[in-house]
Amino acid sequence: MISKNYAGFGKRLLATFLDVSIITIFIGLLTYIFVGEYSTNWTSGYTWDIVYTIYLVITPVLWAGYIIGKRICKIKLIRTDGNDVKFSNTILREFVGFHLIGIITLGISLIISVFMVIFREDKRAIHDIIGGTYVVEK
């Protein structure tokens, strides 16, 4: 274990809320500019899942472990060895550990992950363990 300053459930939840809100507003405004009406209908299907997953896979690699919500909340995604995340970490973490296992277990893994972040000393969820990552406060 590299850091003792692990990010707890509250900060992680706030970062996710900020991410979803900011990205939804941004894409909604782009839709308004190009189509002429503000709409969030695209968030009801698989489009949102695909766009958000791509964002969660690519952005932390390009932005040294941060996404918009994590940057605002001053928390960061790192590998278990303390270095910046790689593309393989984010693919395993987000696509396999979060989405794929979440679908296979019908969401039960997501509920278990919440309790893991709340009660584990290292605050790692299932997707953190699969991706070989931690979320730490910076």
Contact 12, 110 (CB under 8 A): no
Q: What is the pLDDT of residue 27?
A: 84
Would you place residue 10 in the very low, low, confident or very high pLDDT band (cuts 50, 70, 90)?
A: very high
- At residue 1, the pLDDT reads 44
User: Is the predicted pLDDT of residue 136 greater than 80, yes or no?
Assistant: yes
Q: Does the pTM of the predicted model rise above 0.95?
A: no
Mean pLDDT for 30-53 is: 81
Q: What are phi and psi of 134, to 5 degrees?
A: -130, 155
Spatial neighbors of 122 by CB under 8 A, at least 6 apart, are 1, 6, 134
Mean pLDDT of 93-99: 95
